[in-house]
Structure 1
Amino acid sequence: MKRWLTLLALLAFSAPASALVTDISERRIEIRYSFNGADLILFGAVGSTVLGSDTSGIDIVVVVRGPEAPTKLRRKDRVAGIWVNHASLTLPSAPGYYAVAANRHLADIATPDLFTASGIGFSNLRLAYKGGPGKAEMAPDFMSALKRLRAEDGLLREELDAVKIIGEGLFRTNVRLPANAPVGQYQVDAFVFQDGQLQARNRIDMTVDKEGFERAVYSFAHEWPFFYGLTAVLIALMAGWVAALVGRR
C-alpha cells in the first residue's frame, strides 16, 4: 500500500493541475464456492504541478456501478380485498449494484442539480423505461421500490463508506462487494469537487466473474438452459432414489 501511495504522489506532482489519478487493489474479482464478498481498496491522487497548486477545499466522491441488466418492477394493489400484482414497469437497463462514498455528506459538497447531471446518487440516475426515457417521467414509487429492494439485498450502499483524504491530494476508500454481487462489468468513478464545482473525473473498469466449477455451471445454465433444467431434474430424481435405498436399510 505504501508503494502505491508513493507512486501516486509522484504521478500527482508530475501531472497537470486538476488531473486525477486513481487505481483499485483488484480489477478482476473471481467468484468461487468459498466467496463471501470482497473488500477492495480504491486510492488516488489529485494532480498538481511542481510549483504546487491549491488543493484546499476539495471533496472526493466515489461511485461504483454495475452490471447493467433488464429489471421488471411490479406494484401490488388491493382489488376486491385481495392484494394482486397490478401496475408494472420494465427497465431495459438498471445497475445491479450501486455504491456511493464521499469524504463528507453529499449535501455539503455540491448542489442536487450538479449531482443529477453527473448521475451521482441512486435517486439521480436517469433510467430509461419501456414507454419512454427519463427519470422525470418515471413514477416515484417505482424508483423508491427499486432502491428499497437493492438496499435489502445489500446491493445499494449510499454514504455507508467514507473516503479518507490523507493529505497532499491523496485519498483512499474501501469498496465492499457482498457475496451476492452480480457478475459482469463494473465502473468505478472518482469525482473531485472544489468549492461546490466539479473539477475532475476518472473511471476504472472492474470485472466480477465466476471461476472454476461455478463458472462451468453458470455457463451451462445460460448457454443450454433446457439441458441444465433436465440435468437438475435427473440429479434430484437420483438423489431421491438413493435416499429411498438408504432409508430401507
Structure 2
Amino acid sequence: MNKEKFKVDFPSDEDIARQISFIVKEGLPKQETFFKQVYTMYRQLGFQYLFPNSIEIAFISILIAIFLLITGLHVRDYFEAEPGSVYTFIFVTSPLLYLTICSLSLYHIWDNRTYELEMTCKYDFFQLTAVRMLAFSIFCFAVNTAFIIAMVNTYHHISFVKAFLISTTGLFLFSTLTLFVLMNNQAKIVKIVLLVGWTAGNFLAFIWSKNFFLLVLNNISISVYVVITASLLVLYIKHLQKMMQFRKTEGVA
C-alpha cells in the first residue's frame, strides 16, 4: 500500500517577518507620546494629587510677582541711566519663580517622606516630577510674560521681543539644569547648592561684572536668541521625556 507523503508548506521568509511584526505590534502596548502620557496622568490622578500644595504655590507666586514688579519700578532711575541693565535684570530674575515653586514642591516630598511611597505607585516620583515641572515651567512662562509686558509699558526704551526672548532663555536654561541635577545621583545638599547657586551666581556676576553681562546680553542678535531659546526648549522637552522613563533603585538622597 502506497502511503501518501505529507507535505508541509513552509512560509516564506517574507511571511515569517510579516507575522513576527504583526505579533510584536499587537502584543506590545502602544508607545504613547510624551504629551499623551502627561494628559493620561492628569486624567487618572487629578489636579489635587498632582499639585497637593497648589494654594501655597499660588500664594508664593503672587508674592514673588509683586516683589519683582516693585523692584523693577523702584530702580527706575538706574534702568533709565543704564538702559541695557534692564535686560540683565530680566535674565537674572526669570527663573526665580520656577526655582521657588520647584524647591517648595520637592521640599514637601522630602519633608513628608513620600518618596518611597511614590516609587511603589503606578506613577513613580520621576514621572510625577516630570509632569509637575512641565506645569511649573508653563506657569512661570506665563507669569514672566506678564512681567515683561509690565516692564515694557514702564520702560519704553526696551524691546518686548528681545526682553521676551531673554526671559525665556533664562527660564529654560535653568529648567534644563534643574532636570539634569535631579536625575543625577547626588546628595540632597548638592542638589540644593547647585540650584540655588545658579541664581545667586548670576546676581553676584551682575553686581561685580555688570559691564560684561551687559556686553553679552545686548550684543546677541534677536535671531541668535531665537535659536538659543528654541534649542533650550527642545532640550528641556527631551529631558522631561527622559525623566518620564527614568528608573532609579536608590532613593533621593
State TM-score, norm by structure 1. Answer: 0.22
Report which of the two has the higher share of strand. 1
Structure 1 or 2, whichever has the larger Rg, is 2
State TM-score, norm by structure 2. Answer: 0.22
